[in-house]
Amino acid sequence: MAFQIYGVFRLSLLLCMIFFSSTTGGATLRENSSSSTNKHSSSATVTATQINSNSVLVALLDSHYSELSELVEKALLLQTLEEAVSNHNITIFAPKNEALERDLDPEFKRFLLEPANLKSLQNLLLFHMIPSRIDSSRPNKSSHHTTLCKDAFDENIKISHNNKNGEKHIGVAKIFKPNDIVRPDGIIHGIERLLIPKSVQQEFNSRRSLSSISAVLPQGAPEVDPRTHRLKKPASPVPAGSPPVLPIHDAMAPGPSLAPAPAPGPGGPHHHFDGEAQVKDFIQTLLHYGGYNELADILVNLTSLATEMGRLVSEGYVLTVLAPNDEAMAKLTTDQLSEPGAPEQIVYYHLIPEYQTEESMYNAVRRFGKVKYDTLRLPYKVVAEEADGSVKFGQGEGSAYLFDPDIYTDGRISVQGIDGVLLPPEETKLAPKASPTVSKVVAKARRGKLMEVACRMLWAFGQDSQFTSCH
């Protein structure tokens, strides 16, 4: 009996263990099933945010714009572009490979690929992308668009259409392959050249000038006797960064035509500023900016002014270039350019021996009304005044407005684009007055005071008739 009770007790205990184990196992299965469900839902969320294989970003990486896609990967922009594509359509203006490989300045490309300049490379690439879909089939109207480059501030890119030949331009670049790659979330247009925002260009200029300045200790220019224009004695050393002792007009090469390259400046081959590189840099900037090819051609090919400007900057002088655009240069007549030394004299009148920016000149004319700036064409000065919210140079029909401010500013050379060619006021030549007819007048003989008194005494006595001198 006892054995049977003991067996029943073991049986009931076994059933209780089976019941609890089944309950716990069911809970575990439910927990595992719920966790697996959560994993599936999270993986589904992840796959929902991933870029589709038909995306414009994938098409860019697999396209023939290999140089651009390589730069996008080096700039670590894939995640940024994935977020942009997931939020809205984008339009990419892709420069052709030649524009990034062969036509790009090697120094500028080296600057972009340096690890310290990653932000500049990102800004340059994002400046080619617009957070909206722009189709070439839309109406041909000029429009301005904000780019994905947040550091471009208020600098937008303009899409223009030429009604004559049907060409479209984005900034200074021609769109040679509109609608090259079309995807549901974006579109890619092929352009012929690179678009460079001003912030990246200024950063490149400042980095280059700072590296050249810190390389060599500045040395002062020699002292010149103002009467003989000859070296007087070695100039005393000046602090680093101080302006040179020699006036800029005495440092210039003599004569209206400047050919052979001048000898190295004081201090031998070492200058405290690399003037030749800076002049080359601002001329390249004019070409990349577009619309100033004629002035660049005059500086490089028709005259030796680029060499002369480089020598002056190497010796520590500063210059402000008032650069007329191509439309203004086209208005010059052959008579104005055919005289010997005419191109040099025209450019000299556009060179101010000061470092001025748009802000400094505008503040000056706002405060003083009219400001006269010295030029390298002595003794003429250029007059500046405020007009229509900008700076106006010159007077009358020969005036020009500040059209493209701060094209190039590196602390030594400032380039300001204007929409006209400035010519100095002509000296008014007065016609010679007719000389009056001179009639000969025979002067009467005059008597002295003593003789006059004597003649009066003789007249009183009636004896004056005997002396001829008293008649």
Residue positions counted in the chain: 471
Whether pLDDT at 109 is above 80: yes
Give residue-wise pLDDT tens across range 374-422: 999 988 999 999 998 899 999 888 899 999 999 999 888 999 999 999 9
351: tokens are 């060179």
329-354 burial string, b = 16+ CB within 10 Å, else e? beebeeeeeeeeeebbbbbbbbbbbe
**Sorting pLDDT into bands at 50, 70 and 90, what band is 35?**
very low
> Helix 198-213 to helix 118-126 angle, to the nearest 10 degrees?
150
The secondary structure of residue 221, as a DSSP letter, is: P
Percentage helix, strand, coil, to 5, in the chain? Answer: 45, 20, 40
Q: What is the pLDDT of residue 427?
A: 41
**Sorting pLDDT into bands at 50, 70 and 90, what band is 311?**
confident
Which residues is 387 bridged to in the sheet?
Answer: 390
The beta strands (E) that lie in 184-306 are given as 186-191, 223-225, 230-233
pLDDT top residue among 28 and 175: 175
**Sorting pLDDT into bands at 50, 70 and 90, what band is 46?**
very low
Q: What is the pLDDT of residue 366?
A: 92
Whether pLDDT at 198 is above 60: yes
Give residue-wise pLDDT tens across range 208-253: 766 555 555 555 556 666 666 666 665 566 666 667 766 777 777 6
Distance (Å, whole) CA 250 – CA 228: 11
Distance (Å, whole) CA 316 – CA 372: 23
CA distances from 254 to 248, 269, 308, 316, 376 (A): 12, 22, 11, 19, 12
Residue type, 421: V
Residue type, 120: S
395-433 burial string, b = 16+ CB within 10 Å, else e? eeeebbebbbbbbbbbebbbbbbbebbbebeeeeeeeee
Q: Indicate left, alpha or beta for 417 from its phi (over 0: left) and psi (-120 to 50: alpha).
A: beta
> Are 322 and 234 contacting, i.e. CB atoms less than 8 angstroms apart?
no
> Are 295 and 324 contacting, i.e. CB atoms less than 8 angstroms apart?
yes
Give residue-wise pLDDT tens across range 445-454: 555 555 676 6
Percent of the chain at pLDDT exceeding 90: 31
pLDDT top residue among 462 and 42: 462
The beta strands (E) that lie in 157-229 are given as 157-161, 168-170, 173-183, 186-191, 223-225
CA distances from 313 to 23, 129, 255, 284, 320 (A): 90, 38, 19, 17, 11
Give residue-wise pLDDT tens across range 214-223: 555 555 556 6
Q: What is the pLDDT of residue 161?
A: 81
Q: Which of 130-134, 202-206, 220-224 has the highest mean pLDDT?
A: 130-134
Classify the C-alpha dihedral 175-181-182-188 as positive or negative: negative
